[in-house]
């Protein structure tokens, strides 16, 4: 799973959708670990709040192709 996701991130970097400084392997590992933690926290808290935070931080911030300003700061 991790290798395929990392490959997608490499392609996104190559296509200019993500910043060139992004380490695809480390980012894939981080996202996978964060997802596992999110699932655990959702079960423990019986809430979707952990998913909402994961979605916001990973998809709206970290992997947001429209948000280059946050990468250059």
Question: Which pLDDT does position 33 carry in this prediction?
Answer: 96
Question: Which pLDDT does position 69 carry in this prediction?
Answer: 59
For residue range 21-58, what is the model confidence (pLDDT) as tens digits? 999 999 999 999 999 999 999 999 999 999 999 999 99
| Count of the separate structural domains present in the chain | 1
More confident residue, 71 or 34: 34
DSSP 3-state assignment of 27? helix
Alpha helix stretches (DSSP H) within 1-65? 2-14, 24-45, 49-54
DSSP state of 47: S
Q: In terms of Cα–Cα distance, which of 71, 67, 1 is closest to 33?
A: 1
The parent domain of residue 31 ranges over 2-72
User: Whole-prediction pTM value?
Assistant: 0.79
Q: In terms of Cα–Cα distance, which of 4, 33, 9, 3 is closest to 21?
A: 9
Sign of the alpha-carbon dihedral angle for 66, 68, 10, 54:
negative
């Amino acid at each position: 799973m991790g290798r395929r996701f990392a490959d997608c991130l490499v392609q996104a970097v190559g296509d200019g959708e993500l910043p060139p400084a992004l380490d695809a392997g480390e980012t894939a590992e981080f996202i996978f670990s964060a997802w596992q933690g999110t699932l655990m926290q959702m079960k423990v808290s019986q809430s979707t709040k952990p998913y909402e935070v994961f979605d916001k931080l990973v998809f709206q911030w970290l992997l947001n192709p429209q948000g280059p300003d946050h990468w250059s700061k």
